[in-house]
Structures are given as structure tokens and as C-alpha cells.
Amino acid sequence: MYPCYRDGVLEPVGPTSLAAVIGENLLYLAMWVLAGLLLWPVWMPGGVPVLAIGWWVLLAIVQVLLKKHNCSGCYYYGKTCHLGWGHLSAWWFPPDSGDPAVGMRLAMIYIVPPPVILLTALAWGFLTHVGAGYWGLLGGYMALNALSFPVRKYGCGRCAMRKVCAGSAAKGK
């Protein structure tokens, strides 16, 4: 475990169920897929959805790097956290092989893209007069993003690292 976290680790608040891990990961996956679908028609040189493909490639790279920089030094390394990523980190990387400061910068993928994607989709929708299907995707994307806040806060509130994790949504608990 990263030395900067060692002194602030608390007891976890109960075990995490496999259903909760799968559900939270499906929520994020659905948001990321919808984001790509919203970006799909925006820029298509030669018929290739460059923004959507770029988004998904960036997301895949950042997700792997997050497991190295955040999860390899976490209390849950090799264990089940509310996302199940401690197991992935243990399979892919040695313990403490990342840099938590880099991990926190990489975590901006959860903060910056949603409003950018929302504004891009709104602008695209109004400028090109898209159909109801596109607006439905946008509504679903907004709903899933809104749902992610309480889900994340609940997961963070049960985490052993809730007091020391820079990305915790439940520091006051």
C-alpha cells in the first residue's frame, strides 16, 4: 500500500457483493458507450466516427493506467472493492507500481469529459436538427451521469480508504 495512505485506512463498512460490483461497472460502461454514440456523428471524415473511436481508445488507455497508478497501492489491491478493480490491478501490475499523483490526474476522465460531451451533443443536436433517437440517447446519458453521483458516494462511503483517497466522494464519513 502506498505510504501516503497507510495511516488513514479505516475498517471497510461490510463486504461488497458481486451484484453491486457488476452493477456499478455496468453503469460506467453504459455511460461510456452512450458518450461514444453521442460523439459518433459529430465528426466523420471519410465516414469514420473519429471522435467516438478516439473517446473509446482514450478511455481504454486511461482505465488501464488508473489500475496501475491508483489501484496498485490501494488497500483493496488483490481484493474486492466496490468496483472490483483491485483484482484487475493485482493481475496486471505489481504492488505499489504506480504513482498516486498521476492516478489522481488521470481520474479527471470522470470529471472533465461528461460536461464536454453534453455540450458537444447539445450543440450537434441543435445545429443539425437530429431526430428523437439522438435526444433519447442524450437523455439517457444525462440520467446515467446523474445516477452515478449517489452510486459513487455510496461505494466510497463503504471503502476502507474513504478518509485518505483523494478521489473519495465520502471523505466526511
Locate the domains of the chain by residue range: 3-157
Output DSSP code: residue 107: G
pTM for the full model?
Answer: 0.91
- Give the pLDDT score at 172: 62
Give whole-number Cα distances, 158 to 3, 10, 13, 55, 87, in Å.
Answer: 21, 10, 5, 31, 18
Residues 6+ apart with CB under 8 A from 68: 89, 92, 93, 97, 98, 103
pLDDT for 173 equals 52
Does the pLDDT value for residue 166 go beyond 80?
no
pLDDT of residue 24: 95
Share of residues in the chain with pLDDT > 90 (%):
78
Quick one: the chain helix, strand, coil %, rounded to 5? 65, 0, 35
pLDDT digits (tens, 9 = 90+) for 69-97: 999 999 999 999 999 999 999 999 999 99
Tens-digit pLDDT profile for residues 24-38: 999 999 999 999 999
40 compared with 171, residue with greater pLDDT: 40
Residue 13's pLDDT band, with cuts at 50, 70 and 90, is confident
Q: What is the mean pLDDT of the chain?
A: 93
Task: State yes or no: pLDDT of 101 exceeds 80.
Answer: yes
